[in-house]
Amino acid sequence: MNIGIDQISFYTSQYFLDLRTLAEARGVDPDKYVIGIGQSKMGIPPPDEDVVTMAASAAFQLKEQGALDGVEALLFATESGIDQSKAAGMFVHGLLGLPERCRVVELKQACYSATAALRMAMGLVAMRPQSKVLVIAADIARYELGSPGESTQGCGAVAFTISADPRLIVIDPESGFYADDVMDFWRPNYLSEAQVDGKYSTLVYIKALKAAWTQYAEESGRSLDDFARFCYHIPFTRMAAKAHQKLARGISDEELENVIGESLIYSREAGNCYTASLYVGIVSLLDHCAEDLSGKRIGLYSYGSGCVGEFFSGVVQPGYHDVLLTNEHQKLLNERMELTFQQYEDIYHYGIPTDGGEHVFPQYRTGPFRFAGIERHKRIYEEA
């Protein structure tokens, strides 16, 4: 039975900060960001946007296409959780009006958990081939102001359905995976900013990639030449480039651009989307690749700090162009509003109240849903 991604959609905040603006404010050469890490903008969520609203907005595009008919599970992957008990996916379930017969679970393992969700979804579909599973990955990357990680902030969500006989990508059964208990990146409950050992995290990312690829190659018998394109976990786009250079030693800049370039376009505009980043890369590739990828195999590498890495692959299906939401994605990015540096810092310092009182949040530009406020420690969501 062929199982994989039937349809996929991407969403990011309606606001962004140009990294040249950040560079000027921080007194650094803009090339440090634009060339050094390969980023141009970072998505900035306003006070009434969070992982729930981004997730629901990404999935709403699928709902409008009728792609959520038959969904029997919602798996929400995030490392920006909003509650220690209630899954963020339950709020999304309500906003989307999904059926009562629906499993809903939140998954966490840094940036890897969307791939764990994909694997779980494939198992559920294998047991009930007539059903679908909705997987959503949504995150907000946040670091201390002025820190080395500040320029790698961002936000976004990807929603995709897993089904039998999918129209986009059939996921191959072979896989290589790796785990190691390390402290390269972490987000303590008592902090709102992530902590990261940047150089060490890069080394662990590459170590996990090499181990996962070796397993995958042994299990599948495939070589790098068997892939038309590659998509990587993208904390920043230069990291994906460095990763592929480690696998394909001696690859030219032209060849590198050909096999990963299209997958980096959306991440360069939205910034780090954590759990969603690999899947943002897949959307970007399918939306931008001029070559017909029908029947072609793409290599996929998912990484989550702490750490878990997995290399797997999928085959793009004939007719995949017919179910892409390219126009919607590009319209979203083209119509975003640019923030001044002061507006960016003002939003950064806007704290979510924790006193349990009644709080109504001002309305900004969002997708079809917004985070309206808090009442007695309960988060209130509404249609925008």
Catalytic residues: 79, 111, 233
What are the distances in angstroms from CA 159 to CA 99, 114, 123, 281, 361? 17, 10, 18, 13, 26
CB-facing half-sphere around the CA of 271: CA atoms within 13 A? 27
Q: Rounded distance, CA 275 to CA 18, Å?
A: 23
In 3-state terms, what secondary structure has residue 153?
coil
Tell me the residue type at 250: G
Residue 131: which of 161, 103, 163 has the closest Cα? Answer: 163
Tell me the residue type at 268: R
Residue 121: which of 177, 71, 52 has the closest Cα? Answer: 71
Q: Where are the beta strands (DSSP E) in the chain?
A: 3-11, 15-18, 41-43, 71-77, 103-107, 132-141, 154-164, 169-171, 176-179, 185-186, 195-196, 229-232, 297-304, 308-316, 337-338, 359-360, 369-375, 378-383
Q: Rounded distance, CA 305 to CA 274, Å?
A: 10
Bridge-based pairing state of the strands 3-11 and 154-164 = antiparallel
Q: If you search the block for the tokens 């109504």, which residue do you land on?
A: 360
Residue 137: which of 280, 271, 265 has the closest Cα? Answer: 280
